[in-house]
Amino acid sequence: MLEEQGSGAVAVFSRRQVLKAGGAVAAASAGGAPAFVKAQSGSIKIGMSAVTTGRFAYAGLGQVVATKLLFDQVNSGGGIEGRKLELIVRDSRNLPEEAVKNMRSLIGTDGCSIIMSAESSSAAAAINESIRDAKVACFQLNSEASSLTADPKKFNPLAFRVARQGIHDAIAGGALISRVAKERGITRWATCAPDYAFGRETTQQFIDYFRHFGGKMNVVAQVWPKFGAPDFTDVVTKMLSSNPQGIYSLCFGGDVMSLVEQGELYGLFKDKLNVLPLYSDYGVIDVVKQQPPNLFVQNRYNWSYPATAANRKWYDDYVKVSKGPKPHNWSWQTGAAAQFIVDGLRATKGNPDAVKVAEAIRGSTVQVPFGLDGKVTLRAEDNTLINYPMAYGVAVPAEPFVKDWVTADWTVILEQEAAWKKKQGYI
């Protein structure tokens, strides 16, 4: 059951598509109050702070759908020890200060001891600090900045990152793309990434691992557009003027659409090796009219990877609930977090005490339809997700939109990650 109150504006999945899921995940009304759900007597209240309005609303609304998909299944089966799961959602409007305010309200006003933080890396770090002294189990659903959980100074034993991690992506991407670049003689690179922790950290990590795995990279230009920047003309001009052979960008959502559309106008991607890992999200890859050539992308979420009946069913069920819009990377991550929450509450027999729930799920493995072997794991040592689907493929302009998947080796990823942590002084 979800009732959302706010400004009355219905968010969009992309600049071209009206979000058909609005009626399924939100009943908008006037008044300007934050989004919320009134608690039912005896229900287990779980709070979520997410971007549900504005340019990046497709991400937050999709995360609500993924949570609703599982919670509704649990509730239809009688709940947990007879108690229904009730989601309380507040709109952060993509503002870190608003996200922190939401957390305080969800904890203090709504009485939530379990929180789902569907926020960017900058907001995630602020949230972790704001709840450090609170007995709240927090699930970070979006942040890919490696330092969030790797840095012991930032570690919170009750905070879990149920999201892919930049260092994992950089190792996998560096190993594959360095091989492709060597085969094609590509050495001059321009990079473009959002100007905050995730963009800067992960770009440098990709460069480091590209070189580690034998690739030669001369970085001739680096540009750092502000998150949500409407105009990428200057960004495209700077990269073009550096005459690169390869383009690497961690822009996502509306930002990567702007980069691609404006870059195509000026021939930015022509005759180059293009690596846009986050371009593969539905709402982008299936919407952009003119796709860059020679484009390598990372798996974010795709019904064809892993190629299992369970993954396809989850995709179909999600679309049915959303009434059209497709799942994206943050959807599956949220779905995984929801499963950890459900399993944790079952282990505590419906007791939402944060410490007990955290103890129940730390180091655990859950069954999820989008896992490579049907599973994902929360590593006990740092409360972060591992063994999730990790692959690169070649973008194509029609279903399934990515072909020739190459699955990364998690043994290599974990070995390299451990060495990186040691180098950073984290272990």
pLDDT score at 147: 87
Residues 284, 301 contacting (CB under 8 angstroms): no
pLDDT score at 105: 96
Q: Which residues, including other chains, have CB under 8 Å from residue 1's CB and lie 6 or more apart?
A: 37, 40, 86
Amino acid at 11: A
pLDDT score at 1: 35
Residue among 343, 412, 326, 329 at smallest CA distance from 377: 343
pLDDT > 70? residue 27: no
Residue 246 structure tokens: 């390869």
Residue 9 structure tokens: 């504006």
Residue among 426, 402, 419 at smallest CA distance from 170: 419
* Phi, psi at 178, each rounded to 5°: -60, -40
pLDDT > 60? residue 11: no
- The C-alpha atoms of residue 199 and residue 211 are separated, in whole angstroms, by 19
pLDDT score at 130: 87
pLDDT, tens only, 273-327:
999 999 999 999 999 999 999 999 999 999 999 999 999 999 999 999 999 999 9
pLDDT > 70? residue 35: no
Asked if residue 400 has a cis previous peptide bond (ω within 30° of 0), the answer is yes
Q: Which residues, including other chains, have CB under 8 Å from residue 5's CB and lie 6 or more apart?
A: 28, 29, 31, 33, 34, 35, 36
pLDDT, tens only, 90-149:
999 989 999 999 999 999 999 999 999 999 888 898 898 888 888 999 999 999 888 888
Among the residue ranges 193-197, 354-358, 372-376, the one predicted with the least confidence is 193-197
Residues 251, 225 contacting (CB under 8 angstroms): yes
Q: Which domains does the chain have, with CATH numbers?
A: 22-165+308-386 (3.40.50.2300), 167-304+390-424 (3.40.50.2300)
**Three-state SS at 15:** coil
Percent of the chain with pLDDT over 70: 90
Residue among 72, 168, 107 at smallest CA distance from 385: 168
Instruction: For tokens 């950290």, name the residue.
Output: 201
pLDDT score at 36: 37
How does 93-122 read in b/e, with b if 16+ C-beta sit within 10 Å? bbbbebbbbbbebbbeebebbbbbbbbbbb
DSSP assigned state of 131: T
Considering the entire predicted model, what is its pTM?
0.88
Residue among 212, 282, 226 at smallest CA distance from 253: 282
